[in-house]
Amino acid sequence: MAIFLLFQASTTAINVYFYSKDLEYILPLPISTKDILLSKFNTLLLIVYIGEFVLGFIPLFIYGLMAANSIMYFLRMLIVLIIFPVLIVTISSIFTMLLMKIFNFIKNKNIVQFLVTILLLLGIFALENTSMNNFSYDIEEVNNIENVQIKEEKAEEIYKSLGKNYIVVNPSISVLTNENGFLGSFIEVLKLLLYNIFAMLIFAIIGSKIYLDIILSSISKIGKKAKEIKKLKVKKSNKGKSYIKKEIKMLFRRPTFFMQTVFPVIFILISAILIVSLLIPLIDNAIQSDENIKESLSKLTFNIEMACYILIGLQVLFSISNLSLTAISREGKDALFMKYIPVDLYKQFRYKNILQIILNLIISIVVLGLLLYLIPDIGLLNTVSIFIISIFTSLINSYTMLIVDLKRPNLNWNSEYEVIKGSNNKSFQYGFMIIMVLILLYVGKILEGLDIKIALLLEIGIFALVFIIYDRIVKRKINKLFDKIY
């Protein structure tokens, strides 16, 4: 959760603090820089709280119901969840301001956005990689210890040392588990508060010195005159290719869109590859050293239930990106022109889905490739079958999210940041993901007992048929779908 919230704050901070269009209207008003800075900090913190609710509140609440002995656990949980993200947001804010100050000489705001965000995320990757390398090295040492009690104590120390890299993690765990009693929990909460106060003081000092200069400089750059176009070359090209190229260019011309729709998926896939590459030797050593594990694994056979769990995992990853969910909203007020350009609306609908489908295909290839490498018993043919099923579920997912965006478009935004954060459509994506998970579980249940190859072929047929019917319905209702764009 700490890594995810740090990632979320880092990708969002630059847009909240420096590229929000309301700054142009706020600056002439009799509002102090301190108040503007604080309001922006609160905005960023609220965004991170939303992410924390999904990743933190729900699982910790369930854990409390299953394992906690007292109502006091839930009180401690709320205290921790309120305090936990503050330091993460403060650190992200400080580094964002410092990087903006360093790169403030660059006149192109898109380049600045891209550079600052990439540098922040490279810092997170470096932190994550260092943590995992140290962790894997320490675990190897633990595996060589024969005494069980010493082994357990050493392992506990290693897990605590992993949490030290994120400052707020270990104190938060101590409060939640209440392992040192009421007084111990109180001291850990006090630690968290002191960390936050210290970081906030640094943030306030840096912000008071450089924030106003940076935002004034940013706004003045935005207002510069565009270069005069002397000659315009027009080339003939296929309408479909031109439309898709335009969609791709939009993501890179406006880095905010790229960072909020594509980069989270890239970040998770790279993290997964790093973690798997580091943990494979450790897992292999653990398996080889334990005969019971080896015997249990040898009895496992790949079946339709396991295939459905893999597809469920892919569905969760598909729900991370917002490409289709914001395909119309990203156009803003220019979406109106979609109705007047000489391209059929149904074709436009399909073109708008291309980027999401390509990204989902990359997810499927990486995940299934890793699984086949880790568990060769799945078999190449079964992997290909699962990949084909994932294509159809991806198409259904992408179509549905684009329809949600057509029915509830967010076209009157002032900054790119508002396209996603100012929309309530994300809840539909989570809801659809839950429905797909339930459907996959049900399909796995009714096909249970069949040979895996036959079951996968039937599943391909089911989802292919659903998509074909879905596509025909969309084609017939296409004019009605675009009614909200006016």
| Structure confidence at residue 6 as a pLDDT band (50, 70, 90) | confident
| Structure confidence at residue 330 as a pLDDT band (50, 70, 90) | confident
Long-range interactions of 262-267: CB distance < 8 A, separation 24+: 262/321, 262/323, 262/359, 263/11, 263/117, 263/121, 264/7, 264/11, 264/320, 264/321, 265/317, 265/320, 265/321, 265/359, 265/362, 265/363, 267/7, 267/121
Q: For residue 59, what pLDDT is reported? A: 83
Count CB-CB contacts under 10 A for residue 442: 11
Q: Answer with the residue of higher pLDDT: 140 or 165.
A: 165
Q: What share of the chain is helix, strand, coil (3-state, %, to 5)?
A: 80, 0, 20
CA-angle at 216, arms to 212 and 220, nearest 5°: 175
Q: For residue 105, what pLDDT is reported? A: 73
Q: Answer with the residue of higher pLDDT: 160 or 462.
A: 462
First to last CA, the chain: 41
What integer is the mean pLDDT of 142-167?
72
Backbone angles phi, psi at 83, to 5 degrees: -80, -35
Q: 177-191, 220-234, 414-428: which has the highest mean pLDDT? A: 177-191
What integer is the mean pLDDT of 399-411?
90
Which residue shows structure tokens 């992410």?
A: 51
Q: Give dist(CA 220, CA 22) in Å, integer.
A: 14
| Residue 339 pLDDT > 70 | yes
Q: Give dist(CA 466, CA 396) in Å, integer.
A: 8
| Residue 297 pLDDT > 60 | no
| Structure confidence at residue 115 as a pLDDT band (50, 70, 90) | confident
| Residue 446 pLDDT > 80 | yes
Q: Say whether pTM exceeds 0.85.
A: no
Rounded alpha-carbon distances, angstroms, from residue 351 to 141, 315, 322, 343, 399: 53, 22, 15, 10, 11
What integer is the mean pLDDT of 439-452?
88
Q: For residue 355, what pLDDT is reported? A: 92
Q: For residue 178, what pLDDT is reported? A: 79
| Structure confidence at residue 225 as a pLDDT band (50, 70, 90) | very low
| Residue 230 pLDDT > 60 | no
Mean residue pLDDT of the chain comes to: 82
What integer is the mean pLDDT of 323-343?
86
What integer is the mean pLDDT of 435-464?
90
What integer is the mean pLDDT of 258-282?
74
Task: Tell which residue, 123, 98, 103, 125, has the closest CA to residue 113.
Answer: 103
Is-contact 390 311, C-beta < 8 A? yes
| Structure confidence at residue 147 as a pLDDT band (50, 70, 90) | low
Q: Tens digits of per-residue pLDDT, 73-92?
A: 888 889 999 999 999 999 99
Q: For residue 224, what pLDDT is reported? A: 47
| Structure confidence at residue 229 as a pLDDT band (50, 70, 90) | very low
Q: Tens digits of per-residue pLDDT, 19-57?
A: 777 777 788 888 888 888 999 999 889 888 887 887 788
